[in-house]
């Protein structure tokens, strides 16, 4: 990791279990700010769990135990009595499948704005347009902002979800295999957007396709059976991995 880069998210000895089944063990990672960090590993290795621990989304499920520390900008977000919605607001989420809220296209983007800011109607309208422009959706939807968001194509829905996420001005965008449900063209659009986003946001991308990680990542974290095997800058990770398991994964021997 280059020295000038600030650490946005850091975990210390993070352990997560569901129903007494250990999913993440002793996770110590550092995620640099305003870079794209890819979390890779075979399915079921805990990538999504790790991602959702960053904005405390794990705890809405039953029987989850979380121990250790997650430092966001140096502050442990697992401390009790914190304003959880405020933590989540700083981290936008893009999930595997797009989940537009059951409302119009415009209201989807305005949803978070109306909750957090006391912007007036015109300002909200402007922000909605700006966010939709950012994700390249404005020209496709400007004539039907009042239509239900569910009428959009899946690829458009995913971009809408991204617009919804960035509308509340988060610092981090968490992406959980955001292209896995999309056709190649739509996937490419999302990938391009992620590369654009990392100028302004810290992007964390969970992906199970190595090629995608190679294309976009600045920094890579390799998880295997709930443990961090190796992490480091992408060029070193891909060209000169140290761990034998990383080598095996990169060469396709384990998947």
Q: Residue 111 or residue 238: which is nearer to another protein going by CB? A: 111
CB-nearer residue toward another protein: 146 or 242: 146
Token pair in block for residue 185: 């063209």
For the CB of residue 112, give the shortest distance to another protein in the complex, in Å: 3
Q: Which residues lie near another protein (CB under 8 A)?
A: 52, 55, 57, 60-63, 85-86, 88-93, 95-97, 99-103, 111-112, 115-116, 148, 150, 161, 164-165, 167-168, 174
Write the CB contacts of 209 (distance below 8 Å, at least 6 apart in sequence): none
Measured from the CB of residue 43, what is the shortest distance to another protein in angstroms? 17
- What is the sign of the dihedral through the CA atoms of 219, 225, 228 and 232? negative
Least distance between another protein and beta carbon 142 (Å): 21
CB 59 within 8 A of CB 27: no
Distance in angstroms (rounded) separating the CA atoms of residues 96 and 205? 11
| Distance of closest approach, residue 44 Cβ to another protein, in angstroms | 18
What is the secondary structure of 151-179 as a DSSP string?
A: GS-HHHHHHHHHHHHHHT--SEEEEESTT
* Nearest residue (CB) to another protein, 124 versus 250: 124
Residue placing its CB nearer to another protein in the complex, 82 or 254: 82
């Amino acid at each position: 990791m280059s020295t000038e880069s600030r650490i946005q998210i850091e975990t210390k000895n993070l352990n997560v279990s569901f129903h007494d089944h250990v999913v993440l063990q002793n996770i110590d990672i550092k995620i640099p700010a305003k870079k794209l960090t890819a979390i890779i590993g075979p399915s079921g290795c805990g990538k999504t769990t790790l991602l959702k621990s960053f904005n405390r989304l794990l705890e809405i499920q039953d029987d989850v135990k979380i121990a250790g520390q997650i430092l966001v900008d140096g502050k442990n977000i697992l401390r009790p009595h914190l304003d959880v919605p405020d933590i989540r607001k700083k981290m936008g989420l893009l999930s595997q499948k797009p989940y537009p809220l059951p409302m119009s296209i415009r209201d989807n983007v305005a949803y978070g704005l109306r909750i957090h800011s006391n912007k007036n109607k015109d300002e909200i309208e402007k922000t909605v347009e700006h966010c939709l422009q950012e994700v390249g959706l404005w020209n496709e939807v400007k004539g039907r902002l009042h239509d239900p968001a569910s009428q959009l194509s899946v690829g458009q829905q995913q971009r809408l979800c991204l617009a919804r996420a960035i509308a509340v001005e988060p610092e981090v965008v968490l992406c959980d295999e955001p292209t896995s449900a999309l056709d190649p063209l739509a996937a490419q659009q999302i990938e391009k957007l992620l590369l654009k986003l990392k100028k302004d946001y810290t992007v964390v991308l969970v992906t199970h396709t190595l090629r995608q990680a190679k294309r976009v990542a600045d920094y890579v974290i390799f998880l295997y059976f709930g443990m961090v095997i190796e992490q480091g800058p992408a060029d070193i990770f891909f060209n000169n991995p140290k761990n034998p398991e990383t080598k095996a994964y990169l060469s396709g021997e384990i998947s």
